[in-house]
């Protein structure tokens, strides 16, 4: 009988406390999706954090809460691989990443209707450079030309497939500085992040322009750990479905407009 009461106590304690899921995200802002550096900016956390707040409310019967951990991007992925975090926020699809986590899938492809965000990579160069991007290929690309990419970002693999020489470095701001000093011939960066950096210091970056066509447009996902998916696949599916529903709702669309204005 004593054992029975202990088990009942554990059960009701779980119902009362719910489940706290640790979500890893990069320790620098990805405007407008998440803001702040070491910590999430509670006053204006970013679109994806706002969306996950809405998911908590939508799934309140599940009694789940999200807490956030900020790390360098490679460490976020390593934490997912080692099941040290329950999910990673803002990962694009790479087939190799399916070995370390779970994406929302539709047959053999990721279901972008359940994605957390959509964004793009753009090509940046000096105005004086003849190098360009026409939406399909690079123009006036000479032997030895190097295109800068942020370390750990998936665009590096895309450029390698095009037989492009890349120079991997840490941070978009650092790569813009390298472009100004002509240490790289161009920079393939996250459009939202790089545009925001240039906008904040227009005079400094006045000699840098962006190609009209993006290099690639991508969907980004909340990717769950193998351990959590194995333990509670139904909860994971509910979260993805909630994201899909809420992203098309008027509340989120109004919120998105407020962040992009």
The stretch 220-247 carries a mean pLDDT of 97
Shared domain for 143 and 105, answered yes or no, is no
Shared domain for 23 and 134, answered yes or no, is no
Shared domain for 126 and 100, answered yes or no, is no
Helix, strand, or coil here: 236? Answer: helix
Shared domain for 101 and 22, answered yes or no, is yes
Shared domain for 7 and 104, answered yes or no, is yes
**In contact, 204 and 197? CB cutoff 8 Å:** no
Q: What is the mean pLDDT of the chain?
A: 89
Rounded-to-integer distance, Cα 69 and Cα 85, Å: 9
Rounded-to-integer distance, Cα 62 and Cα 76, Å: 26
Shared domain for 176 and 224, answered yes or no, is no
What range does the domain containing 23 cover? 2-117+220-260
Total domains, the chain: 2
Rounded-to-integer distance, Cα 103 and Cα 135, Å: 28
Rounded-to-integer distance, Cα 44 and Cα 9, Å: 39
* Element of type H or E holding 233: helix 233-247
**In contact, 64 and 19? CB cutoff 8 Å:** yes
Shared domain for 38 and 104, answered yes or no, is yes
Q: CA-CA distances (angstroms) from residue 158 to 13, 23, 111, 121, 163?
A: 48, 26, 20, 11, 9
pLDDT of residue 50: 96
Shared domain for 150 and 38, answered yes or no, is no
Low-confidence winner among 44-58, 77-91, 146-160, 169-183 (lowest mean pLDDT): 146-160
Instruction: Kindly report, residue by residue over 13-26, the tens digit of the pLDDT.
Output: 444 457 999 999 99
Instruction: Kindly report, residue by residue over 155-174, the tens digit of the pLDDT.
Output: 898 999 999 999 999 888 99
Shared domain for 224 and 203, answered yes or no, is no
Strand partners, 217: 120
Task: Tell me the torsion sign for CA atoms 138, 139, 145, 150.
Answer: negative
Shared domain for 50 and 137, answered yes or no, is no
Residue the block writes with tokens 């799934």: 59
**In contact, 85 and 22? CB cutoff 8 Å:** yes
Residue 48: give its domain's CATH number.
3.40.190.10
Sequence-ordered list of residues with C-beta below 8 angstroms from that of 128, at least 6 positions apart, any chain: 207
Instruction: Kindly report, residue by residue over 191-230, the tens digit of the pLDDT.
Output: 877 887 898 899 999 999 999 999 998 899 999 999 999 9
Rounded-to-integer distance, Cα 234 and Cα 161, Å: 37
């Amino acid at each position: 009988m004593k054992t029975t009461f202990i088990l009942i106590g554990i059960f009701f304690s779980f119902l009362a406390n719910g489940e706290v899921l640790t979500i890893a995200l990069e320790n620098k802002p990805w405007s407008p999706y998440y803001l702040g550096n070491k910590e999430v900016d509670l006053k204006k956390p970013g679109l994806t954090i706002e969306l996950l707040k809405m998911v908590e409310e939508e799934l309140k019967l599940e009694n789940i809460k999200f807490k956030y951990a900020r790390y360098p991007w490679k460490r976020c992925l390593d934490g997912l691989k080692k099941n040290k975090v329950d999910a990673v926020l803002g990962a694009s699809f790479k087939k190799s990443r399916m070995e370390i986590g779970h994406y929302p899938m539709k047959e053999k492809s990721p279901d972008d209707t359940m994605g957390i965000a959509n964004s793009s990579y753009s090509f940046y160069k000096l105005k004086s450079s003849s190098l360009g991007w026409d939406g399909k290929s690079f123009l006036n690309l000479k032997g030895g030309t190097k295109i800068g990419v942020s370390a750990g970002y998936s665009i590096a693999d895309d450029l390698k497939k095009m037989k492009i020489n890349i120079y991997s470095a840490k941070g978009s701001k650092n790569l813009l500085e390298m472009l100004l000093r002509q240490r790289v011939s161009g920079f393939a960066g996250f459009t939202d992040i790089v545009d925001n950096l240039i906008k904040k210091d227009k005079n400094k970056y006045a000699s840098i322009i962006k190609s009209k066509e993006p290099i690639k447009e991508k969907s980004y996902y909340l990717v769950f750990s193998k351990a959590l998916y194995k333990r509670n696949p139904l909860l994971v599916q509910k979260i993805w479905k909630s994201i899909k529903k809420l992203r098309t709702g008027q509340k989120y669309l109004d919120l998105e407009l407020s962040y992009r204005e």
